[in-house]
Amino acid sequence: MKKLFLFIVVAVLCFSCKREEVFIPRNIVDVEIETVFKDSLLSLRAIEIMNKEALFIAGNNSFWGVYAPYKDTIFVDNDFGEHKKLHFRAAARTNEGSFALSIESPARLFADHKLVYQENHPKAFYDSMDFWNDKEGIAIGDPTGDCMSIIITRDGGATWTKLSCDDLPKAKTGEGAFAASDTNIAIVDDHAWVATGGKASRVLYSPDKGNTWEMFETPIVQGAETTGIFSIDFYDELNGFAIGGDYTRPDDNVANKIRTTDGGKTWQLVAENKNPGFRSCVQYMPGRKGQELVAIGFKGIDYSNDAGASWKHLSDEGFYTIRFLNDSVAYAAGAGRISKLIFSE
């Protein structure tokens, strides 16, 4: 009798454990948009969540600021000495400092306003930046030779080294990247994925914090300078999503959304011939098991609760980039504004 009772208890516990593992995605139907900062002269494409109390933002006109929601205040410091009117489209924040990287030549990378890297090549154009940890970070840009430009720091951003094309896969003719939302790089643990775009649109992958690299093909629309992947994100080591299209034809929804379940080795088209069309940024909603995503662009905001297989249009409000504070609250930046977004069922 005791053995039977013990068997029943174990069976009930096992059944309960299995039930707890079942994840039911939400059905988000609304997004509340509250503009927290406005400046009609700014174009803001780089935004990072520092913590629940602050964001780090960078943009054109040498704009470098910290927004503190708890104070409803933005602190701006755009004094870069002799470096006037820089246009930042890549930014990052660690526990040890703030970083911003300007586009065009000469490309300039600042760590807490100190110039730590400069590249004078006429083709220099950097697009995105991210960090694996407080010491090791990466920035990527268009080719200046026969490979993508990749610079790496191993000392917390104090110094940066450009990787040799001897150590990188060769770029195809017309292959580059888009400085649209500072989301060309996705990082999970030691892994990094870099999305390229243009006449060729592929995914560069490193399993070891930028020491070795390989290249994966994608089925996303490509072949013209304005086509390809504009944004990539990974939920974990296996599950990733990328979005883009042709920004000159923003309503086209053919071959502009792709998904991987094997760490980027292979990619499949999803929501083919279905909206959304062109979007410049996609992000997984944190803590939602890789099932819930939000994509944004200048044509609006869209949501998926089935890993990107289908999408729901939430708003026509346009933005360039978005970052999540938690699974329901995010901050988005765009033309002349920063907004708080609250997603609800």
Q: pLDDT (tens digit, 9 = 90+) per residue, 253-283?
A: 999 999 999 999 999 999 999 999 999 999 9
The domain total for the chain is 1
CATH of the domain at 311: 2.130.10.10
What's the predicted TM-score (pTM) here?
A: 0.92
Q: How far apart are CA 329 and CA 34, in angstroms?
A: 11
Q: Is 17 domain-assigned?
A: no
- Yes or no: say if 310 and 276 are a contact pair by the CB < 8 Å rule: no
pLDDT tens digits, 197-255: 999 999 999 999 999 999 999 999 999 999 999 999 999 999 999 999 999 999 999 99
Q: Is 238 domain-assigned?
A: yes
pLDDT tens digits, 283-325: 999 999 999 999 999 999 999 999 999 999 999 999 999 999 9
Q: Is 23 domain-assigned?
A: no
Q: Is 15 domain-assigned?
A: no
Domain that holds residue 212: 28-344
Q: Is 84 domain-assigned?
A: yes
Question: What's the confidence (pLDDT) of residue 139?
Answer: 98
**Which of 322-333 are b and which e, b meaning 16 or more Cβ less than 10 Å from the residue's Cβ?**
bbbbeebebbbb
Q: How far apart are CA 101 and CA 139, in angstroms?
A: 8
Q: Is 332 domain-assigned?
A: yes
Q: Is 2 domain-assigned?
A: no
- Yes or no: say if 332 and 311 are a contact pair by the CB < 8 Å rule: no
Q: Is 285 domain-assigned?
A: yes
- Yes or no: say if 279 and 320 are a contact pair by the CB < 8 Å rule: no
